[in-house]
Amino acid sequence: MYKKKRFSVAVWTRMYRTNLIKENVLYFKEGILHEDENWTPKVLLVAKRVGYISIPFYHYVIRNNSITQMENRKKHIADVLNTCKELEEEYNKRDISESNKRILKDYLARLYINTCTFGKYDGNFYINIVDKKFPLRNSYFIKTKIESLIYVLSIPLYKYIKLKYS
């Protein structure tokens, strides 16, 4: 799904069997934003079967004053960066094929570097919580490697390019 650019971690894009969640003790981590980023990969790793239906079951509405539209994005950024680190550790300890592990980690690298585009950029805050080695060690696809290199060389330049050409 990720290779074909059809990967979404949004919880509402799937239906889940209750026993899958209960048997594997898969609950949302409390107190974090973007909990889908943390939860969905863990569910997909334990699922024995995954199906796809191309019928829309849900229509997403963005409200102006919702959490996702807040101007101060520091908690969003910190929570996503921490989720990336947590999932990297999770992938390292799981029995996953090396090729799948590289693909999963590449997604984390892209998510990690894209946090600099989350709302108003506070360089001092951001640079103090970022691990610039993270995207380099987790990049797998050439495009992600190039983007990670630009990010490591200059986060403001990466942000400018990403926002201008995406």
| pLDDT single digits (tens) 86-114 | 999 999 999 999 998 999 999 999 999 99
Share of the chain above pLDDT 70, in %: 89
What local confidence, expressed as pLDDT, does residue 71 receive? 59
> Which of 102, 116, 120, 104 lies closest to 156 in space, CA to CA?
116
* Spatial contact of 37 and 9, defined as CB atoms under 8 Å apart: yes
CA distance 164 to 135: 21
pTM: 0.81
Of 10-14, 36-40, 80-84, the range with the lowest mean pLDDT is 10-14
Tell me what the mean pLDDT of segment 25-52 comes to.
85
